A = this chain, B = another copy of it.
């Protein structure tokens, strides 16, 4: 299946923004990596910013969906699956960190459109976690609790753990942090 020009742009934009931040993302490099000319890009998108927002939105939403909707679709073992997903370091890029956190942190206070987009993506992430916790409570795998607040804490701890590993260059920091988070969550577990 052939990749369209638009898709090539979205992929190259996401990579560039993920690696260098939005402000550090050079349009020239995006175009070079996509193999697309400038005028062509401006046919599909009105500006660098618009293209970046579309790329971020699409790519992160897809990733969240792929990662968490399959847990929600389980018949049981929600909490265990969530913990397994959290502890799976194979898919994580500790050099670059979490795309949501990166861009939210860079842009939330600088641009209203980025602010809105990243707020939605952050809340989407948090909602996935809350829904998984709700399923776990419903399935009696876990004590009833304030799942909204719990989901907030889990996402915060996860983002913080990823940042620790990025800041120190040590993936073990992520593993250690998540281990404590796991202990904390297991105290609510019925197994």
Binding site for B on A (CB under 8 A): 19-21, 23-24, 95-97, 100-102, 104-106, 108-110, 115, 118-119, 122-123, 149-150, 152-153, 155-161, 163-164, 166-169, 173, 176-177, 179-181, 184
Other-chain contact of A163, B105, B149, B150, B184 (Cβ < 8 Å): B105
**Interchain CB contact under 8 A, B169 and A122:** no
Q: Can you give 26 contacting A-B residue pairs, CB < 8 Å?
A: A20-B23, A20-B110, A24-B110, A96-B109, A104-B163, A104-B167, A105-B106, A105-B166, A105-B167, A106-B106, A108-B166, A109-B166, A115-B169, A118-B167, A119-B167, A119-B168, A122-B168, A149-B176, A150-B180, A152-B164, A152-B177, A153-B180, A156-B160, A159-B160, A159-B164, A160-B161
Complex CA–CA separation, A160 to B149 (angstroms):
14
Q: Which residues of B contact A173 (CB under 8 A)?
A: 152, 156
- A48–chain B nearest beta-carbon distance, Å: 14
**Chain B residues within 8 Å of A24, by CB:** 23, 106, 110
Other-chain residue from B118, B156, B168 in contact with A157 (beta carbon distance below 8 A):
B156
The answer for the CA separation of A158 and B167 in the assembled complex, in Å, is 15
Residue of B nearest to A93 (CB): B109
Residue in contact with A176 in the complex, picked from B96, B118, B153, B181, CB distance below 8 Å: B153
On whether A155 and B164 interact (CB within 8 A), knowing A23-B21, A24-B110, A176-B149, the answer reads yes
Q: How far is the CA of A173 from the CA of B155 in the complex (A)?
A: 11
Chain B residues with Cβ under 8 A from A101's Cβ? 105, 163, 167
Chain B residues, CB < 8 A from A21: 21, 23, 106, 110
- A168–B152 Cα distance when bound, in Å, is 11
